[in-house]
Amino acid sequence: MQVFVMAPTRLLAILLLSILLMNQIRLTEPLTVGVSQVPHHSAHQDLISKLQSSLSSTPPSFCRLIIKNTKPANRKDYFSEPKLLQVEGRYVAIKTGPNLQLTFKETTRDTTKNIPVDDGSSLASALLPLFSSSDFKACTLQTLEGDYAFKKASTKLRVNRPTFKSPPSAEHNSEKNSIIPPTSPFLHSLGLTDASGAPKPNKKSKLKQCQKFVEIVGKLIKDKGFATSPSDPLEVIDAGCGRGYLTFSLHDHLSSSDIHVRSTGIEARPSLCSDVNAISSSLSSQGDSHFDTLSFEPGYISTYVHSKPRADVLIALHACDTASDDSILTGIHLQAQVIVLSPCCHKEIRRQVERHDYRGEGALRDVMSHGIHRERFSEMVTDGLRGLVLEWKGYDVKVFEFVGGEHTGKNCMITAVKREEELQEEERDRIRTRILDLAEGNGVSEFKLADSLGLELRGRRQVKDSRRMPK
């Protein structure tokens, strides 16, 4: 057995060579693609520098800034003290010059702060405390050159490909695409907007409802393909029109869409009809001649059916209780091709649902033991019956939410469009059976809409026990 002993000088040389090779590998090791090796304490300084340069470049390459904080662990914290969740920055051009607009999104509110882009110290003063906060999570700066980001636990400023190919609009108050232009004179005359077209604080929700209602109804009318002329205009009836917000809005939209239209608002209060007729006449005299064919008549929709030969479109927004049924009934009798309504209260059916005994109904037993559930269920039963009756009369029906609950609690919409072909008798019988089953299963023996059309509900066996459910 032979043993090789290496000379000390040779061993030392090999060790030195190994050390040099290891250092060479470490020095030449490629960095992670898209990552700049920056110590954590200077990552935010580097990001602020890139932010300032992107804001001051010509044209500005800045697109968006997002600073995220950790979310509250408990839901109850959202409703206690305001807690900052996120800060969003955008470039805006205002009268005083270009600014970085920071929106501070908190758990209970949003606040905004504008910082001039040439004020570097104010910019740093606003951002550095956010980065050093214990709640800080991550920050992303998006520019046309690239996206820069770093996280709280990271020691690197990451560079990715740019998200934006062109910068967002720098307009401070960018006008949203609206089916009803906010500067429309009739909106100001009705008190929905101020002279500049901005919605009045207490009318924002009403304006939103009108915008969405007109968008839906306008599309249904256009899809139906009505042929109109000055001598044969589209006949529109607004049942229970109130101050005429929707009547004016739809009439103006249709007229602006080159549809010849004659609109009539029906309102029970004569004084209100006089007020809105005066507004219509005033607008017409000021040059809006299409308001010549808009008028308001005092009366009740239940009796109006006898004074009108026909209606092409019937709409009703928040007609109370059976007034919604009167509207549907009028639309059917006047052979309206489009019927659109957003019902209000449902007292007629609610009283009967309250008396119905659900204790033997299995899964519904525990649900219907609560008043709030019975109230909402009454709405669903009522609108379900309305939809089925309209189907029985030859309409294609949809029931859906047309606007968010923050604008109105009564946000259910029923749309009915007359079918081109008549229903076969077998299909009508099937729909009739569904109506009777739905009514009987929920203790409904009186339903004005069905009764008025000769659809008798009393003939079906009703639940005998009419005791109320325990509260």
Provide the pLDDT for residue 335. 92
pTM given for the model: 0.61
Q: Is the pLDDT of residue 146 over 50?
A: yes
Q: Is the pLDDT of residue 467 over 60?
A: no
Could you tell me the pLDDT band of residue 465, with boundaries at 50, 70 and 90?
A: very low
Q: Is the pLDDT of residue 267 over 60?
A: yes
- Cβ partners under 8 Å of residue 331, min gap 6: 237, 311, 314, 339, 416
**pLDDT tens digits, residue range 46-82?**
888 889 899 988 889 999 999 998 876 565 555 556 7
Higher pLDDT, 346 or 158: 158
Q: Say if residues 345 and 321 touch (Cβ distance below 8 Å).
A: yes
The closest of 176, 257, 246 to 211, measured between CA atoms, is 246
Could you tell me the pLDDT band of residue 16, with boundaries at 50, 70 and 90?
A: low
- Cβ partners under 8 Å of residue 183, min gap 6: 193, 196, 197
Give the pair of three-digit tokens for residue 97. Answer: 């010059």
Cα 254 from chain centroid?
23
Provide the pLDDT for residue 31. 35
Rounded CA Rg of the chain: 34
- Sign of the Cα torsion 292, 293, 294, 300 reads positive
Query: What is the spatial distance between Cα 376 and Cα 381, in angstroms, rounded to a whole number?
Result: 9
**What is the average pLDDT value for the chain, to the nearest integer?**
81
Highest mean pLDDT among 145-154, 211-220, 369-378: 211-220
Q: Is the pLDDT of residue 334 over 80?
A: yes
Q: Is the pLDDT of residue 183 over 60?
A: yes
Highest mean pLDDT among 9-23, 36-50, 83-97, 414-428: 414-428
- Give the pLDDT mean for 363-368: 71
**What domains can be seen in the chain, in order of their start residue?**
35-160 (no CATH), 185-452 (3.40.50.150)
- Give the pLDDT mean for 398-422: 77
Written as one letter, the residue type at 275 is D
- Sign of the Cα torsion 226, 232, 233, 236 reads negative
Provide the pLDDT for residue 71. 74
